[in-house]
Amino acid sequence: MGTFSLLKCYTPFSSMLFAHSPRTLLSGYRAAVFRKKKFPSFRAVSSSQPSTAEKSSNDGESFRSKSPSPEVWLHNTMTILVMLVFTSISIFFIGRYFKHLGLEVCYVRNFTDVDDKIIARSKELGEDPISLSRRYCEEFCQDMVTLNCLPPTVEPKVSEHITQIIDMIEKILNNGYAYNVDGDVYFNVENFPEYGKLSSRGLEDNRAGERVAVDSRKKNPADFALWKSVKPGEPFWDSPWGPGRPGWHIECSAMSEAYLGYSFDIHGGGIDLVFPHHENEIAQSCAACSKSDISVWMHNGFVTIDSVKMSKSLGNFFTIRQVVDVYHPLALRYFLMSAHYRSPMNYSNIHLESASDRVFYIYETLHACESLLNQHDQTVRKDSVPSDTLSIIDNLYTVFLTSMSDDLHTPVALAGLSDPLKLINDLLHTRKGKKQQFRIESLAALNKSIGDVLTVLGLMPSSYSEVLQQLKEKALKRANVTEGEILQKIEERDAARIQKEYAKSDDIRKDLAVLGIALMDSPNGTTWRPTIPLPIQEQL
């Protein structure tokens, strides 16, 4: 389950498989793995490096060439920590980052469109389960577009890969790791000694009736279904063991093998999938092919509400569409990046308001910068950008590359935007900044560098003015006021100030601040912008 499906908006839930098949490697690149004897980690190093020759407008060097061969450290659930320099890699939102580093990315996102929950839901709605799943999948994909997520390389579904699933089950049976009972095929965990190596759980931890289903036909309570015999009213396919459908876990192994092979770089998902889902995937993939190997297992933390896991069963969940109805999708994306991917993400209006306020500040600053630059010749020479500006730009790139390569610390990467944005505002609005030599050149270089980072993070809008207007419209909706009503309040405040009724003027400003509307006075008059509502500001 990926970062932006943490909101658990729809079923079926999707898991993500990220990596490369040897067939997709760039010509001349190979990955080698070296294991350390005393530290449970490994390093994969490419034998040569991709070309990074790009030119930028600020200092003649590309963003990427600042660090042509970064060492990317990722937390590995299977061990402790892993350092990678791969030629093809992707996980969650950082597929963009690895593409930025010049790596080839093959991203597979598979959909479970047949399982117990889907069948139960389809019966409630009186809808064909495959049709229901297709609709959910389409809505999920649209939500990913809304959040500016890159599309996967391939997006397989269980119902379209029954042949591959059956083939893998036959391999597992032939290798002695499974058994058939009345048309049901079960994986025999006792025949796989390494079972539990991902979750550090032993067979004794799997008591019947808790994490595993009670079935007296099983040789071990922990044995899990690879194939389920047909039941009345359920979709089914023919197989060597009779009509039925796949078990939950086997589908992911079969589809990843079909597109990535038995060995690939990264497998990702939510922390709740470590056991039993990913544990079972490892067992069945290795049982089908002894050379099966996934280098890195990455797991993201839960989305919580008041420190309680967000889930449909508890009724404390929001869909992506419910959230973006009142908050801009880029604000939600920023919010999701504001915590480390392995940390719990506490959903609250406080955090979403803060994220919305921050993205408005970023885009407002860049819009003002862009508007001024459009009035000037933007030809920038390397030696015309002041050294202090170049220092801030270099630090932005360094912080970004260092933090993203250090287990994807997006909060640090986002914080690195603060100094460049502050300098832009100083150059735009302060008396000292307006007098600085090579001011326009500095603004152009800063605008370019911030845009570089936002683009890699998927936070770069197509139009600053358009997204600013959309952010204002969302704020009006949350405040339940119209822009006309705000403008009327501004007129009332102007009149009060003329009459020197300063208490009334202050009350109007405060009343709007409570709603999340800030008034901005200038020599040209008073305008408004969204802000964090005053009651929420007092909780920060």
Q: Are strands 263-270 and 14-18 parallel, antiparallel or unpaired?
A: antiparallel
Mean pLDDT value across the chain = 83
Structure tokens at 284: 């069945």
Phi-psi region of 63 (alpha: psi -120 to 50; beta: other; left: phi over 0): alpha
3-class secondary structure per residue, 372-433? HHCCCCCCCCHHHCCHHHHHHHHHHHHHHHHHHHECCCHHHHHHCCHHHHHHHHHHHHCHHH
pLDDT for res 204: 65
Q: How many CA atoms lie within 13 A of 203 on its CB side?
A: 14
Listed in sequence order, the DSSP H helices in 207-294 are 248-260, 279-288
pLDDT for res 372: 96
pLDDT for res 270: 86
pLDDT tens digit sequence for 226-272: 999 999 989 999 999 999 999 989 999 999 999 999 998 889 888 88
Highest mean pLDDT among 60-74, 85-99, 134-148: 134-148
Distance CA 13, CA 84 (A): 29
pLDDT for res 13: 28
Q: Which residue has the higher pLDDT, 297 or 396?
A: 396
pLDDT tens digit sequence for 28-50: 222 222 222 232 222 222 222 22
Structure confidence at residue 71 as a pLDDT band (50, 70, 90): confident
What residues contact residue 84 under an 8 Å CB cut-off, 6+ apart? 43, 44, 71, 72, 73, 74, 265, 295, 296
Q: Which pTM does this prediction carry?
A: 0.84
CB 261, CB 253: distance < 8 Å: no
Distance CA 182, CA 167 (A): 19
pLDDT for res 64: 55
Lowest mean pLDDT among 149-153, 189-193, 332-336, 432-436: 149-153
Greatest CA separation found in the chain? 91
Instruction: Give the amino acid at 469.
Output: Q
pLDDT for res 86: 37
Mean pLDDT of 507-531: 96
Place of tokens 């402790």: 80
- Asked if pLDDT for residue 23 goes beyond 90, the answer is no
First to last CA, the chain: 31
- Asked if pLDDT for residue 68 goes beyond 80, the answer is no
